[in-house]
Amino acid sequence: MRAATVTVGTALAVWGLAAPVQAVTPTVNGSVHAQGTIQCAPESKTYTVKSKPAPVLSGPSNKATQIDVVYPGNKVRGYFHCVNSGNIYVCIGLCKVDDNGVKGRWVFRGYLS
């Protein structure tokens, strides 16, 4: 467990995100949520899509259904970011992250700068 926490923390640091990834339950004020192995935190940041089209997914997972695409140079607003299996996903719209589930329009952080 400790190695997994360090790995996730390292992934966040590499992407420039600081989130309390060691939290295993939602906080009282709703700032951090854990849904199984997925850990999320709110953010308010504008990103630019890098040099290739970025798939927009129905959830913070590489197994989620692709529902749209955003093109290089476009700006997107991040409202939440979630760490799932060491990958970081950013919610760019219709975001819902609470005790009942994680929903929205998600982009893998690696496609954004």
Per-residue pLDDT tens for 72-113?
A: 999 999 999 999 999 999 999 999 998 888 999 999 999 999
Q: For the chain, how many structural domains are there in total?
A: 1
* pLDDT at residue 32 greater than cutoff 90: no
**Domain assignment of residue 46, given as a range:** 2-111
Tokens of 28: 């009282």
pTM of the predicted model, to two decimals?
Answer: 0.71
**For position 89, which CATH number holds?**
2.30.30.40
* pLDDT at residue 29 greater than cutoff 70: no
Q: Which residue has the tokens 């970081």?
A: 88
Stretch among 28-32, 63-67, 70-74 having the lowest mean pLDDT: 28-32
Beta strands in 1-113 (DSSP E): 33-35, 38-48, 54-57, 66-70, 75-84, 87-98, 101-108
Beta carbons within 8 Å of 1's beta carbon, 6+ residues apart: none
* pLDDT at residue 43 greater than cutoff 80: yes
Burial of 55 (0-12, 13-18, 19+ CB in 10 A): middle
